[in-house]
Structure 1
């Protein structure tokens, strides 16, 4: 139980629920339905939005127009709520749901991870922070344009070659408009030239032997890899900002899910479906989802 109480995620959930509850109480106590409060935050928000768009402060006339537009919008908004016009409006639901998510986003930014937490996260997700494969290789091409059956032509050339000797096929095949070798090249750069199917195959074939045929968009290739460097962890200090962004994103997902589940406990759901209109499996799925099972 003590370990559970130390869990940071529980602290976030508690803080988040406290914010929502306090906000609701304050809103009810300080205003009534016919009172509109316009404070410093509102004015600063209007001015900031204007300056962000126009790169200058508004003139007196422009500020008056902004205020009148804002007042009109607020009045119409309050009257629309009284008339229940927001009920079942998908756009409004989506927007308000997003604003609730933004509140939980703010909670994450309030407590950045310690160096120890970030290092632990980096160690746990190490496979996400690896260098790419690197290759030094030679290849020959048997193109679709110059061969009716390029696969068969390449296969025959391979069967007649001394597979262990690089020189036995070097310079063979059909020319390409770029070099027929890569030296200590990142997998990504090879993929840009010959495609992902080609580079995927490079990961598993033998080195220091002619292998193939391997297809790309240019034809079929025979490949001789002289060096293949396996992916290795990128030091944390080189990608700390990237790891921090990933850490915050993952923590945000956990917080959103936890808050959702906690808030969901405060509500009950009733199911009123016509059993003759829907498949029993669909009704069962809806029922289990509403119950959270």
Structure 2
């Protein structure tokens, strides 16, 4: 490894930190606020309405109403902006933004929105995506096989609660339910085979049913069933390259909460918390 590679390695590690991303985004929001004119001095008695500001007000109007504002409407937009700016500066001058629960909550909501935006825009490297694919192969497999048991309840699905209570008491599940020319138990049955025998909705229900627990009623082409999925095995596992976008979307959606909490923890770690309880 060369000297330049050694020096850039810590920098790359630093740039991957959620807190760094968060602070960079916050700085960009600050710059945007200044560009929009939000960073004015509350003590100033001069309000500048620049051509750029008028153009932004007009563009905002056009976005909403799908037409350019008339000269009279532009004057109205300017008057409304001046009124808002006057009230904003006077409120700041009186300190109305301090110790205000509503304002605190709105600022918190903006920070949470900023953090969420960073989370949603997070990019995963190939190792992360491959690990996600390995951890959740059933979500991307070309086919699945199932070991499961089923109790046929009939067309209306009545009696499921009583059967579940009897099973919980130790009764033999094989002696329960109504007779039907379908197997009570299947081993290593593919999703496509199950769909042919029981119907698409039944096969789809097995893909999300809890393992090892009786659940239902589950609808099939014959009526209602109680089902217990004993095993769910991915077959025909795809390569990451063939399903990369699906894996990345799934990783982003399902891992968003954890990454949001991680970003908050990074901020929290920079604070010293002192709590005095009565």
TM-score range, shorter chain: 0.5 to 0.7
- From 145, 148, 153, give the equivalent of 1:141: 153
- From 198, 212, 233, give the equivalent of 1:182: 198
Conserved in 2, the CA contact under 8 Å of 1:118 and 1:244?
A: no
Conserved in 2, the CA contact under 8 Å of 1:139 and 1:223?
A: yes
Q: TM-score by structure 2 length? A: 0.55
Residue of structure 2 equivalent to 1:60:
71
Q: 1:53 is paired with a residue of what secondary structure? A: helix
- From 21, 28, 31, give the equivalent of 1:12: 21
Q: How does 1:55-94 map to 2 (within 5 A)?
A: 55-94=66-105
- From 36, 43, 46, give the equivalent of 1:33: 43
Larger radius of gyration: 1
Partners of 1:106 and 1:180 in 2: CA distance:
44
Root-mean-square deviation (Å): 5.5
Conserved in 1, the CA contact under 8 Å of 2:119 and 2:259?
A: yes
User: Is 1:230 equivalent to 2:226 in the alignment?
Assistant: no
Partners of 1:20 and 1:54 in 2: CA distance:
27
Residue of structure 2 equivalent to 1:288:
none
Conserved in 1, the CA contact under 8 Å of 2:132 and 2:251?
A: no
**Unpaired stretches in structure 1, ≥5 consecutive residues:** 161-167, 173-178, 206-213, 274-282, 285-293
**Unpaired stretches in structure 2, ≥5 consecutive residues:** 1-5, 184-194
User: Is 1:123 equivalent to 2:139 in the alignment?
Assistant: no
User: Is 1:99 equivalent to 2:110 in the alignment?
Assistant: yes
Q: How does 1:38-57 map to 2 (within 5 A)?
A: 38-39=49-50, 42-57=53-68
Q: TM-score by structure 1 length? A: 0.53
CA 159–12 in structure 1, closer or farther in 2 if over 3 Å, else same = closer
Alignment size in residue pairs:
235
